[in-house]
Chain A
Amino acid sequence: MIQTLFLADFTVIRPEPGMIIWTTIIFGIFWFIMSRFAFKPISNALKERETDIQSSLDEAKKAREEMANLKSENEALLALAQEERSKILKDAKAAKETIINEAKDKAKEEAKKIVTSAKAEIENQKMAAMIDLKNQVGNIALDIAEKVIARELKSQPEHEQYVNQLVKDLN
């Protein structure tokens, strides 16, 4: 009897038809309306967002790859430019060298020429000076001799002749 009463009071373990019918109806409605109006739209939205995020990530990855490509291209271009530059520099250096050398050569030649012409001029001048000097010395000597001879050779024509011959020999 005690057991019967105890179990009778513990009503929750007794499945009542009313409870079963109502739960079936309510859960059925719940399942239907929640699926139709809540869970499906939500899960669709979540899926959409997932694809959105995935595509954004993919895009970002692609952009990054493109950037990397661009960078390597740039680097190649830079390397090329650097090479070009160094080549140009080298060429310029070479050109400079040749120009300098040429200039040096030219300068040397010019200098030589100048020196040569200067030497020739000097020679000429020297010659002229020498002639001038000779003439002057001759004249002076002649003057002196004239004076001497004028004094001595008034009497001695052979002396005059001798002196003229000497002057001739000087040339």
Chain B
Amino acid sequence: MRNILLIFAFILGTSGLVIAQSHEHSNHATDGATHVEEGHDSPAGHDQGAEAGHEEHAGQADHGHGHCFCDSGEAEEGFEVSSTAFHHIGDANTFHIIGEVYVPLPCILYAPDHGWNVMMASKFDIGHHGTGNLAIDRYVLVHGEVNRIADTSFPMGEISVECVGTEINEEGEAHYVVGYQGNCYHLESKSTLDQGVFGGGITSYYDLSITKNVFTMLLGLVLLFWMFRSVATAYKKRRGEAPRGIQGLMEPIILFIQDEVAKPFLGAKYSKYLPFLLSIFFFILGLNLIGQIPFFPGSANVTGNLGVTMVLALFTFFIVSFSGNKHYWEHIFWMPGVPAWVKIILTPVEVLGIFIKPFTLMLRLFANITAGHIVIMSFVGLIFIFGNSGESLSGAGVGIAASIPLTLFMMAIELLVAFIQAFVFTLLAASYIGAAIEEPHHH
């Protein structure tokens, strides 16, 4: 049973990654062609060296050519699926409900050179496409996301900007810019921990806001806690009676995790780790399912965010490492029972394995959930592609006819994936912990 589950988990994980990768490639290929003239993408199209670019652009702005062309998105004609999909799966400082209606979320911004800025996103005066009409202390809201103007010459305080959009420089690179008094001011890229490898970088500010994802996580926390608290009370109140209602719904799932995941992998010590396994399972499952709801307050792609899955994988990594017994570490650093020259090869492999295990946990969950969101967004996008952005009603009809069965099918699959990925993460976490606490067998 245990082996079958592991193989199953592995296959699912791998297939998820392959789907995600192939999707990345196909989007990649189609993306560039339309990108420059559309100019409808999220900000931070900066070159990698944020600091170096910073000075240079500051200089350009000071020269003041007297003209800044902002393609603010007003002039957009077509519909671009990939950018819409990417925007929907990404994080934001506002929650888009419908049309031009946005729920503003609290922004908590910290810049070492300026200090804290705590305000609601509505303070940016949210306009078309979730872009703010105001710049506050050099922060601007672009497509629902807070960015900072790189130029230190840009005035602080609340400033009404002329436009927010893209500018194409001499090398043909597109940058997000803010037009103010005829000058173009470049925006910093988003602060990320990828050191600019994926287009982010270390910036002059940190965005610690309650973003769409954080808001959804808090919502999930409250919902799940309320639900499980009522289950726990039901057990207390109706002691010794048959489970009923939500208690009856949850009990088989809890027992499944306990009997099919915790007990087989962790043996007698399972009860010590069961709360963690249940927490991680229901946290992932809850957020996966909330993300499947296509409208507010659902739809956020939380478990498809690499930062989130990274933290969940890190929790697992630390639990595994801290519970590892002598036997476990011995098998990693100096495998007993093999010749010395094999040990020299084996040790680096085993040491790498410590990190590869949580790394795969992180990627598997991220890739599966993100891929699902992108595919659904793409199918929904068919309506607008066929409809030529609302110009062709019959086209939209064809799009709807094609899109509804596909989206329905994909949503059903995603419902399954929501359960499977939560289960696989829990199962693998249990197997890693189990390997770390396993007592040596005496041969």
Interface residues of A (CB under 8 A from B): 1-24, 26-27, 29-31, 33-35, 37-43, 45-46, 48-49, 52
Q: Which residues of B contact A18 (CB under 8 A)?
A: 108, 191, 206-209, 211, 214
A52 touches which one: B198, B240, B370 (CB < 8 A)?
B240
A38 touches which one: B191, B206, B232 (CB < 8 A)?
B232
Most buried by A among B48, B82, B283, B366: B283
Q: Does B312 contact A (CB under 8 A)?
A: yes
Residue-wise interface mask of B (187-215) relative to A, using a CB-CB cutoff of 8 A (1 in contact, 0 not) = 00111111000111000001111110110
Nearest 3 pairs of A and B residues by beta carbon:
A8-B199, A2-B32, A19-B307
Cα separation A11 to B370 with both chains bound (whole Å): 11
Known contacts A2-B31, A21-B208, A42-B228; A8/B46 CB under 8 A = yes
A8 touches which one: B44, B217, B282, B310 (CB < 8 A)?
B44
Q: Which residues of A contact B441 (CB under 8 A)?
A: none
New contact pairs (10) apart from A22-B214, A27-B312, CB-CB < 8 Å:
A4-B45, A5-B32, A7-B198, A8-B189, A14-B200, A15-B192, A16-B192, A19-B91, A19-B308, A49-B240
The answer to whether A16 touches B193, judged by C-beta atoms less than 8 angstroms apart, is: yes
Q: Which residues of B contact A11 (CB under 8 A)?
A: 42, 86, 90-91, 190
Q: Which residue of B lies closest to A36 (CB)?
A: B275
The answer to whether A39 touches B218, judged by C-beta atoms less than 8 angstroms apart, is: no
Residue-wise interface mask of B (286-321) relative to A, using a CB-CB cutoff of 8 A (1 in contact, 0 not) = 000000000000000100111110111001000000
B35 touches which one: A5, A22, A23, A30 (CB < 8 A)?
A5
Residue-wise interface mask of B (266-282) relative to A, using a CB-CB cutoff of 8 A (1 in contact, 0 not) = 00000100111011101
The answer to whether B90 touches A15, judged by C-beta atoms less than 8 angstroms apart, is: no
Q: Which residues of A contact B211 (CB under 8 A)?
A: 18-19, 22
Query: Interface SS of chain A: helix, strand, loop or mixed?
Result: helix
Q: Does B27 contact A (CB under 8 A)?
A: yes
Q: List 21 A-B contacts (CB under 8 A).
A: A2-B31, A4-B47, A8-B45, A8-B46, A10-B24, A14-B193, A14-B200, A15-B192, A16-B190, A18-B208, A18-B211, A23-B311, A27-B283, A27-B315, A31-B279, A38-B229, A39-B254, A39-B278, A42-B232, A43-B258, A45-B239
The answer to whether B239 touches A14, judged by C-beta atoms less than 8 angstroms apart, is: no
Cα separation A10 to B91 with both chains bound (whole Å): 10
The answer to whether B306 touches A14, judged by C-beta atoms less than 8 angstroms apart, is: yes
Known contacts A2-B31, A5-B174, A29-B221; A12/B301 CB under 8 A = yes
Q: Which residues of A contact B35 (CB under 8 A)?
A: 2, 5-6
Cα separation A8 to B193 with both chains bound (whole Å): 13
CB distance from B298 to the nearest CB of A (A): 17
